[in-house]
Amino acid sequence: MITVTERFLKYVKMNTKSDEATRVTPSTEGQLELAKVLVNELKEMGLEDVTLSEHGYVYATLKANTDKKIPTIGFIAHMDTSPDLSGENVNPRIIENYDGGDILLNAKTNLILGPSVSPEIVNYKGNNLIVTDGTTLLGADDKAGIAEIITAIEYLINHKEIEHGDIKIGFTPDEEIGEGADHFDVEYFNADFAYTMDGGAIGELEYENFNASGVKVEINGRNVHPGYAKDKMVNSMFIANEFISMLPSEEVPERTSGYEGFYHLIGINGSVENTSLNYIVRDFTEEGYKARNEKMLEITEALNKKYGEGIVNTTVKEQYKNMKEKVEPEMHIVDTAVKAMEEAGVVPNIKPIRGGTDGARLSFMGLITPNIFAGGENFHGKFEYVPIESMEKAVEVIVNIIKLYASK
């Protein structure tokens, strides 16, 4: 049997960084290459209904080995890695029996991972950590989840004494650019409910996430020769600065936590004639979410009254909603995951996702899908790492969930 670590180290070598600029699905060729590798593995393991969709989604089924009435459970992970940093030529290494101190990731740049950079790393003293070489991200988000799901399925295949119903597997592209559920075929997947293995540190269990929108602000100026500009020029960059200053300065990602929402300016491109601002807006409550979007529109209206109608144009696009309202009526899904963790010796840490997962959108598409830890820390950056022991526990949790539903 191939270990979860061996699988993980194989998958991270493949560059699957997503790219929203391509406007195709999957957005990059590397994701499709990984999808084909996964399809071959699943077929070799003997799974049924192994499918690679036209948009690069991988589906498979481990058929039930009992006639008992057991729910059909899905397990989902995403194949892409974040566009925030290179995923090419990932060079992972294992730090055995981590001593709690500093780890030199890259001698050339003197890049060090340790408690000063990542305080929680001391919790993994004595664990075996997989780290980067300090030039790329690692890809535990979410190749750890893929490796954990496939390893758990192989364990069930090799332990036929464990009763289970149909188990569905889904691997999605482009989650990191918010498109992971765009072409997910919920009807074809045909699970009663599912779990994404896409959380962070060991013990994380999440069924609440932000309500999310993307907001684009286009500001139209008027350019004339600066020597003759008095009372004629309208500098769109100054109006953009005014727009930014009219939002609450404390309600930004770097100054919020827990259940606090925010406005996040993620891009700006400007000239005298035209400036565009790209924001993402996040809030856990429906009321707060609506209020934040309305705030953006109110600022737009105020600036148009000041500078002239049509100077500022703002477009709000909903991205995903808080899955809590869909999960709470079916809390057995969360309760079973809690028990599965406890039986694996893992302390559950139920917390809101300060972000989103495929599961958020899938829950509103008819497939209730809370999120379980994959084990990694410091996602999307050079300091990303994953304890091997956390991945092994995630495999155990998947198996325990399946056992618990079979025993009911």
Residue 364 CA: distances (Å) to CA of 119, 186, 323, 345: 36, 11, 7, 32
For the segment 350-379, the average pLDDT, to the nearest whole number, is 93
Q: Which of 148, 166, 175, 206 is catalytic?
A: 175
Q: Which residue has the tokens 């829950």?
A: 363
**Cα(322)–Cα(334) distance, rounded to whole angstroms?**
15
Q: What is the mean pLDDT of the chain?
A: 96
185 counts as catalytic: no
The whole-number pLDDT of residue 397 equals 98
CA 134 to chain centre: 22
Q: How confident is the model at residue 355 (pLDDT cuts 50, 70, 90)?
A: confident
Q: Which of 80, 154, 206, 283 is catalytic?
A: 80
Which two three-digit tokens encode residue 311?
């100077």
User: Does residue 356 surpass a pLDDT of 90?
Assistant: no
pLDDT digits (tens, 9 = 90+) for 16-60: 999 989 999 999 999 999 999 999 999 999 999 999 999 999 999
For the segment 360-371, the average pLDDT, to the nearest whole number, is 96
Q: Is 159 annotated as a binding residue?
A: no
Q: Which amino acid is at 403?
A: K
For the segment 80-92, the average pLDDT, to the nearest whole number, is 94
Q: Which amino acid is at 145?
A: G
pLDDT digits (tens, 9 = 90+) for 261-285: 999 999 999 999 999 999 999 999 9
pLDDT digits (tens, 9 = 90+) for 119-131: 999 999 999 999 9
**Burial classification of residue 56, based on how many CB atoms lie within 10 Å of its CB (0-12 exposed, 13-18 middle, 19 or more buried):** buried
DSSP for residue 19? -
- For each of the domains in the chain, give its residue range(s) and CATH number, in order of start: 4-208+322-407 (3.40.630.10), 211-320 (3.30.70.360)
DSSP for residue 28? S
Q: Is 183 annotated as a binding residue?
A: no
User: Does residue 319 surpass a pLDDT of 80?
Assistant: yes
> What percent of the chain clears pLDDT 70, i.e. is strictly above it?
100
Provide DSSP, 290-308: HHHHHHHHHHHHHHHHHH-
Q: Is 198 annotated as a binding residue?
A: yes
Q: How confident is the model at residue 205 (pLDDT cuts 50, 70, 90)?
A: very high
Q: Is 264 annotated as a binding residue?
A: no
Dihedrals phi, psi of 61, to nearest 5 degrees: -135, 130
DSSP for residue 309? T
Provide DSSP, 34-86: HHHHHHHHHHHTT-EEEEE-TTS-EEEEE--SSSS----EEEEEE--B-TTS-
pLDDT digits (tens, 9 = 90+) for 156-195: 999 999 999 999 999 999 999 989 999 999 999 999 999 9
133 counts as catalytic: no
CA 398 to chain centre: 19
pLDDT digits (tens, 9 = 90+) for 225-248: 999 999 999 999 999 999 999 999
pLDDT digits (tens, 9 = 90+) for 89-117: 999 999 999 999 999 999 999 999 999 99
Q: Is 29 annotated as a binding residue?
A: no
User: Does residue 12 surpass a pLDDT of 90?
Assistant: yes
> What percent of the chain clears pLDDT 90, i.e. is strictly above it?
96
User: Does residue 1 surpass a pLDDT of 90?
Assistant: no
